[in-house]
Every structure is written in structure tokens, then in C-alpha cells.
Structure 1
Amino acid sequence: MNVFETTESEVRSYCRSWPVVFDRAVGAHMYDESGREYLDFFAGAGALNYGHNNPVLKQAVVDYMMADRVTHSLDMNTVAKREFLETFRDIALAPRDLDYKIMFPGPAGANAVEAALKLARKITGRQSVINFTNAFHGMTLGALSVTGNSMKRGGAGIPLVHATPMPYDNYLDGKVEDFLWFERLLGDSGSGLNEPAAVIVETVQGEGGINVARAEWLRGLADLCKRHGMLLIVDDVQMGCGRTGPFFSFEQAGIVPDIVCLSKSIGGMGMPLALTLLRPELDVWEPGEHNGTFRGINPAFVASTAALREYWTDDTLEKGTLAKGEQIGRVLDDLAEAHGLKAKGRGLARGLQFADGDTAGAVCRAAFERGLLMETAGPEGEVAKLMPPLTVTEDEVEQGLSVVTEAVHAVLGKEKNA
């Protein structure tokens, strides 16, 4: 381990929680260099919805690479990009009656967010953007400006301006009418709120603590944006590509955002790819006005195309995700009732909220000692977060839940009512 500690930056984080050297990974399992097996309920922070080294996706990429096909192309036209665009249009967009232009802003979710914010300001001529409490949208300056976490914001080293936070759904425990404060500020010329260009929102806040917005809240937000001439941006970087069940997490609410940000699992098998989807009439970019060296990573196009064709031509994966999500939800509900905790989540984005971050961290360490990878989330790290690959089997879910249960009991003791 010495080379990691002496040569790599102190900024490293996940490796501190899981102090082993990983070597192989297949499906929902990772293996360290000694051969010990770990069940992965982390899934690359949502970048591995189809599991590690998915054989169908891997074969597509290997065949492409071995044929000396184009790897790097910026935004040049390639066969791989054409096949991806056609497949995404035909499988992800058309069946949902979604009409979006597809922009490749760069390789990461933060790139998709930066492009969305820049475009919203260009279209409206306004500077201010509305974000929500406990939001997370990335680590670049624009994305940080609409992120809630104070530690991450503090790393910017400069004031993060032109963004105003509003209460996320149930932030005030249901004691205040939805959007009462937001709408009051919008309608009062003395409120000091600059006229917003856009609102950016996650339908489920992953890093913020697995906070789930109700469908009616999201519909109310969409209506508010329309009435006040604000663009609605949905950040689906972590919750898209089926994490909550449907391909897009906003489908359940029946809304159609103006702009959608995708990354993580859109790359198929952990390959870097990000998309900013925008209504055609919003496509007012000048050629090259927003660009990046790595916005055309063709192996990611290949893996993504294979994933769309393999998993999204019917509803099998969606139904499986919802069923396994309920399987996890039932166990977390039992643990929550037994220990006075709070179970949270939707689909295969689930969490168990503890009294503090120390307790949640202890549970995750206990799970790691028993061969399960899971991380914490929330402003104080108080939520133990479960995000297995969508391709995880029911038996693997049951195995993982057994470990989670053991870990909770090891830290908090047996059930209070046992």
C-alpha cells in the first residue's frame, strides 16, 4: 500500500474506506489481489448499472478495438457515434415521445451540468440559477455553485455566485406549502432574488442522502418554471439509465424537462461519456462555442449502444429493478423500525439514515469487514447508501442484505424489541 500513501494525493477518499488493492471485477463482485471477494453495493457511484465487465458490453468494445476502429475523434463524425445517436434516439427517446437534441459536452457529469448552466444563461440572458438544499451536481466551479455540501463548496477557494438554494421536497418536514417561499420571492420585486435563468434539480438526491422528491412536487416545480419563464434542468447523472426503474428518473412524474444531464452509466461499462439533452428550439450554440477534447470517446459510444440494445428494448430490466428495490426496501424498513432509523429511496437507490455520520460510517466499515462495499451519503455522512448494479441477482441482493443486517446489529446491537 506504500506507493498509494507516498505518491498519490491526500485527496483520495474511497480507498481510505476500503483499504485493500482491488484486482478483478465481474458482475456485482470485486476481488482484491489476495483473491478475497466483495459484493459491490456501490457500483462505481452509479456508473456501473450493468455491472463490472458485463460480457455483452465488453465483447462489443473488444471487437471494436481489435478491428482498429476510431478511438478518439473529438466531435468528428464516426460510425460509432452515428450508431449511438440512432440507437439512443430510437430506444431511449422516441418510445417516450421525447424530442431532444443530443450534445456531447465532455466525459463527466460535471461537464453535462456546466453545459446546461451555460446554455440556460445564453438562452435567457439571465445569470441566476436556482438549486436545492443538499443538491450535488459536480466538482467544477459552475456545478459547485449549485451544490449544497459546504465542504465541497469550500474547496472552490472563491465565492460561488449566481445561484440561490431553495428547500428541496420535505426539507421543512411538510410543514410549509410546496414552493411557498420560492414563489413569494419570484413575485416580490423587493425580495432581492435576481430573475432566474433556470432551476436545476435531482429527482432523487444521491450524494445528498437518498432524498426522494414526490411526483407531485416535481410536477409543481415544472409548472412553476413554466409560469415564470425559467428553464427546468434535471440532473439525471446518477439516477438516470434505469437506477430508479424507468430509463429517465423523471418519467414517473410525467414531466418533460427543458434540459437533461446524463453521464455515469450512459457510458455502458464505466467508460467516460456525458450527454446534455436539450429541446431543439434551445439549440442556439455557435459551432465550437462549447467544446472539449474528450467529447468523442468512441469505445463509450460502442458500450452505450450495446447496453441500450441489450437492456432497453423491453421493460425486463425496469421491472427487475423495481422488484429488487422493493426487496431491499422491505429489509431496510424492518431495520428502521427495529432501531428507530429512517429507510429511504426508490428503485435501486436506497439508504438507511442513522443519527449521525459516525454511526453510518461504522455500519459501512462493518459491512466491508464482512465482504460488502457500500458508502455513506448525506450532509454529515449519516446515510448508509445501497446502490448495487441493476443486473444484480435476487440471491445477491439477499446475500447483501444479510450482511447489511449483520453490520447494523453489530454496531447498534440486536433489535430493540427482540
Structure 2
Amino acid sequence: MTTLKNDVFDRRESSVRSYCRSFDAVLATARGSVVRDTSGREYIDFLAGAGALNYGHNDPDMKAALLDYVLNDGITHGLDLFTEAKRSFLGSFERLILGPREMDHLVQFTGPTGANAVEAALKLARKVTGRTNVIAFTNGFHGVSLGALAATANSSKRMGPEIPLPGVSRLPFDGYLGDDVDTTDLLGRMLADPSSGLDAPAAILLETVQGEGGLNVASARWLQRVASLAAQHGALLIVDDVQAGCGRTGTFFSFEAAGITPDLVVLSKSLSGFGLPMSVLLVRPHLDQWEPGEHNGTFRGNAHAFVTARVALHKFWSDVDFAEDIVRRSVLVTDRLTELTERVPGLRRKGRGMMQGLDVGDGACAAEIIRRCARNGLIIESSGAENEVVKVLAPLTTPDHLLRKGLDVLADATVGLAMAVPA
């Protein structure tokens, strides 16, 4: 599983590349939860495009719809012009997602990545409120463009002192100060105190499950309290559902179980269903105060993504069966990871739904587990402040037998490493 020396990747690709450093096979084809390299070797995929492939690789129904659209000369690029593909997607999204959840949000098509939608959310919140400050949280990750990066906590992404990143105040996420400390008490106190030094915020930005931050989970009570404080103090509540959304935690939106309604919601990654670039900002109608063209981007409407997204919505979200399958598979993952924590001292299970993992204590251990998994046919990655959390991000459609097989590989790697390290 090693690329050839002097390959074009080494000669021409920037050193910024990252995932290939722990998994350097040259991939060729994929279907469902299995990918194959150029030698024909198969790997179970527990990375899923970092959450961009919730429905697996090359879903046959999405592929057929996309091929049909292309072969019939469907509009490829339309800026924000009206197209049949956009109308079909919006109608399905309204009928299957927004309507059943009694969400009145409008859909703003931004640039193609989640960071583009985060930028739009921050910009709109500041425009609507006339304020500049944004409250974000420890271990949060929201993208690496400058506005989103200012709200991102990880120092390895923030580039230290080289780039000034103003306009964000950081406060502790749920559990950051220990399970017995409710960090919303601090948030509430600082918002209420005119001498706290915390400028009145335009928005409070959060993930309900911090994907890149190490699978830290916000409780329903904590989310409800943050939503209440945002409303009380005139700040917009922005939920970044780029990785935790589109079913990853069991419901389409990760905040549904908490019973809150964010002012702005960021969606991307698996929204297209097929791994195609697509990102949107959901906006409550009274907050849609943009002037025409005030926020735009050349690729703010990917027609091919509209086609596959519509198929994904109808195939997976037109009834409750898919959500029930996610819950069932989530229990399978929970049980297996919990069993591992009982077998290997010092491990801790983290996350929620199909967004779980093992905190193994440090990045070096996690990296070795990942290498062992790769040698045994499993693609998996890590997250957290020190990359100490091995993250199970399998497609939501992964058949049970493949899910169990992948978890077996992870268990063997983890237990094997623990046995190899002296106590």
C-alpha cells in the first residue's frame, strides 16, 4: 500500500495534502462502503469523504439520474438563474425536510463548500444585527477561509500569529470544564454583565457534535440554554451542520432532538448525496436581508448536485425506515466501541449516532491504530486537538456485515497495540 517513488503525486502535488499521509494507496473505484485501489485490493471505508458520503460511493439511483441528466444536455452551470434541476431540488427539500419539521427557512445557495456557507452566515448575522462579535466555542471547527477560520479553535489550522483573525470570542463548549460544570452559566453571566469584556454578539456559532474537534457532544439541555441566551441577548443562533447533518446523528438535522430552531443552519458535505460540491445556508425569512447579489459566488448553484441531492432526499428521507436504520446501526457501533473501552483500560467512547469514535489518549497511538487498520483493509481517520480520537465515520448505508467487519479490524488494531505497549 505504498505509492511509487517519484510518482507524479510526489513531484507535483502540494505538501498541504493530509489524508494520503496515513493511507497512501492509489484508489481507483468504489461502490457503497467499499473502495478499491489500482491493484484491485478492497478496503472498507470508515472515512466516507470526511462525512461527504453519508449514502456511500456511487449510489446506483443517483448515478443513473446524473447520467441521464448529462446525456440529455441538462444545464451544467447556471449561476443563480432558475433551472429545472434547482426547482426540483427545492421542491423536494421543502416537501421532505423543511415542511415535516415546520421550518420556514429560505435556502441560500452559497459557494460549493461548507466554509463558504459559514462565511455567508457570519456575514449575514453581522449585517442583520449591526454587531461584529461572534461567539464560538473551544474545539470548534468551521472551515479554513478567514472568517470561518477565526471561529475555528484548532491552533494547527489557525497559523499562529501570521494571520490576524479578529471578531470572535471563544467560550467553553459543553463538558469542556468537566461534566459537573454547566458552561452556559458562564456564557449567561458574561452576556448579562456589561463589564465582562464580551462585546454584544451578532451570533453564537456552534456544532452540536464537534466532528474535527474530537466528537464532543452537546447535550440537549445545553443547546436549549444556548438558544435561549442567544434570543435573549439579540444574537442569531447559527448551527454548523456540515458534518453532523444529513442524518449523521440519526435525524436529518443534528439539532432536532434538542427541539431548537436555529436562525441560520449551514449544510454541505453529504447534501448532494453523491459527493458533489454543494453548500447552502438556511435562513429564517425575516433575516433574509441581502441586497441582490450582495453575497455571491460563481459556483453557488451546482446543477449536477441538485440532481443527485433530489434523488437522495426521495430515496432515503421519504419515510422513517432510513432514520430507524441509522439508529439501529448506531447502537451496533456504540455497543462495539463500549466493549472495546471495557477491554482496554484508558479508552473512552465519544460521539453520537453514526459519528462516534475512540479517544485513545494521544495522537501517536491513534496514528498507529490507523496504520494497522489500513494494513488490514480499513480506511479510518482521527480528530481532536491532538488527533487522539479514532473516528468511525462509516456511510450510513453500510451493510451490517461490513460494519461489523470494519469494527473487528478497528478492535484488532486497538487491542493489538495495547498488548504491544508495556504497561
TM-score bracket for the superposition, by shorter chain length: over 0.9
Q: Structure 1 stretches (4+) deviating beyond 6 angstroms?
A: none
Measured against aligned partners, the alpha-carbon deviations of 1:381-403 in whole angstroms (never above 9, x if no partner) come to 00000000011011111101110
Residue 135 of structure 1 corresponds to 140
Measured against aligned partners, the alpha-carbon deviations of 1:73-123 in whole angstroms (never above 9, x if no partner) come to 110100000001111011110011111000001100001100000000000
| Equivalent residue letter for 1:405 | A
Residue 9 of structure 1 corresponds to 14
Give the superposition deviation at 1:229.
Answer: 1.0
Contact 1:130/1:163 (8 A) holds in 2: yes
Measured against aligned partners, the alpha-carbon deviations of 1:257-298 in whole angstroms (never above 9, x if no partner) come to 000000000011000000100100000000000000001110
Give the superposition deviation at 1:177.
Answer: 3.0
Aligned with residue 373 of structure 1, among 348, 356, 379? 379
User: Are 1:394 and 2:400 matched, yes or no?
Assistant: yes
Q: 1:310 to 1:10 in 2, by over 3 A?
A: same
| Equivalent residue letter for 2:411 | T
Aligned residue runs from structure 1 range 62-101, under 5 A: 62-101=67-106
Measured against aligned partners, the alpha-carbon deviations of 1:299-333 in whole angstroms (never above 9, x if no partner) come to 00000001001110111111111111110111111
| Equivalent residue letter for 1:11 | V
Residue 243 of structure 2 corresponds to 238
| Distance in 2 (alpha carbons) for counterparts of 1:167 and 1:83 | 41
Residue 344 of structure 1 corresponds to 350
Give the superposition deviation at 1:414.
Answer: 8.3
| Distance in 1 (alpha carbons) for counterparts of 2:421 and 2:232 | 50
Q: 1:297 to 1:156 in 2, by over 3 A?
A: farther
Residue 171 of structure 1 corresponds to 176
Residue 233 of structure 2 corresponds to 228
| Distance in 1 (alpha carbons) for counterparts of 2:336 and 2:396 | 18
Contact 1:42/1:387 (8 A) holds in 2: yes
User: Are 1:115 and 2:153 matched, yes or no?
Assistant: no
| Distance in 2 (alpha carbons) for counterparts of 1:268 and 1:405 | 29
Aligned with residue 369 of structure 2, among 356, 363, 369? 363
| Distance in 2 (alpha carbons) for counterparts of 1:178 and 1:7 | 47
**2:183 alignment partner, SS class:** coil
Contact 1:107/1:295 (8 A) holds in 2: yes
Q: Indicate the percent of aligned positions where both proteins have the same amino acid.
A: 51
| Equivalent residue letter for 1:396 | L
| Distance in 2 (alpha carbons) for counterparts of 1:133 and 1:326 | 28
Give the superposition deviation at 1:187.
Answer: 1.6
| Equivalent residue letter for 1:303 | T
**1:413 alignment partner, SS class:** helix
User: Are 1:403 and 2:412 matched, yes or no?
Assistant: no
| Distance in 1 (alpha carbons) for counterparts of 2:250 and 2:145 | 29
Q: 179-188 or 256-265, which moves further after superposition? A: 179-188
- The runs of 5 or more residues in structure 1 that have no matched partner are none
Count residues with an aligned counterpart. Answer: 417
| Distance in 2 (alpha carbons) for counterparts of 1:184 and 1:155 | 29
| Distance in 2 (alpha carbons) for counterparts of 1:78 and 1:190 | 52
- The runs of 5 or more residues in structure 2 that have no matched partner are none
| Distance in 1 (alpha carbons) for counterparts of 2:297 and 2:53 | 24
Q: 1:331 to 1:361 in 2, by over 3 A?
A: same
Contact 1:357/1:380 (8 A) holds in 2: yes
Normalised to the residue count of structure 1, the TM-score between the two structures is 0.98
| Equivalent residue letter for 2:335 | R
Give the superposition deviation at 1:137.
Answer: 0.3
Q: 182-191 or 20-29, which moves further after superposition? A: 182-191
User: Are 1:326 and 2:337 matched, yes or no?
Assistant: no
Contact 1:322/1:347 (8 A) holds in 2: yes
| Distance in 2 (alpha carbons) for counterparts of 1:368 and 1:394 | 20
Contact 1:329/1:350 (8 A) holds in 2: yes
| Equivalent residue letter for 2:356 | R
Measured against aligned partners, the alpha-carbon deviations of 1:168-214 in whole angstroms (never above 9, x if no partner) come to 01111123233122122112222111110000000000000011111
Aligned with residue 284 of structure 1, among 289, 305, 308? 289
| Distance in 2 (alpha carbons) for counterparts of 1:205 and 1:122 | 27
Q: 177-186 or 17-26, which moves further after superposition? A: 177-186
| Equivalent residue letter for 1:229 | G
Contact 1:366/1:410 (8 A) holds in 2: no
| Distance in 2 (alpha carbons) for counterparts of 1:392 and 1:358 | 28
Aligned with residue 298 of structure 1, among 303, 306, 309? 303
**1:247 alignment partner, SS class:** coil
Normalised to the residue count of structure 2, the TM-score between the two structures is 0.97
**1:73 alignment partner, SS class:** coil
| Distance in 1 (alpha carbons) for counterparts of 2:106 and 2:124 | 13
| Distance in 1 (alpha carbons) for counterparts of 2:303 and 2:335 | 41
**1:191 alignment partner, SS class:** coil
Give the superposition deviation at 1:355.
Answer: 1.4
| Distance in 1 (alpha carbons) for counterparts of 2:195 and 2:108 | 38
| Distance in 1 (alpha carbons) for counterparts of 2:50 and 2:401 | 22
Q: 183-192 or 372-381, which moves further after superposition? A: 183-192
User: Are 1:104 and 2:109 matched, yes or no?
Assistant: yes
| Distance in 1 (alpha carbons) for counterparts of 2:162 and 2:59 | 40
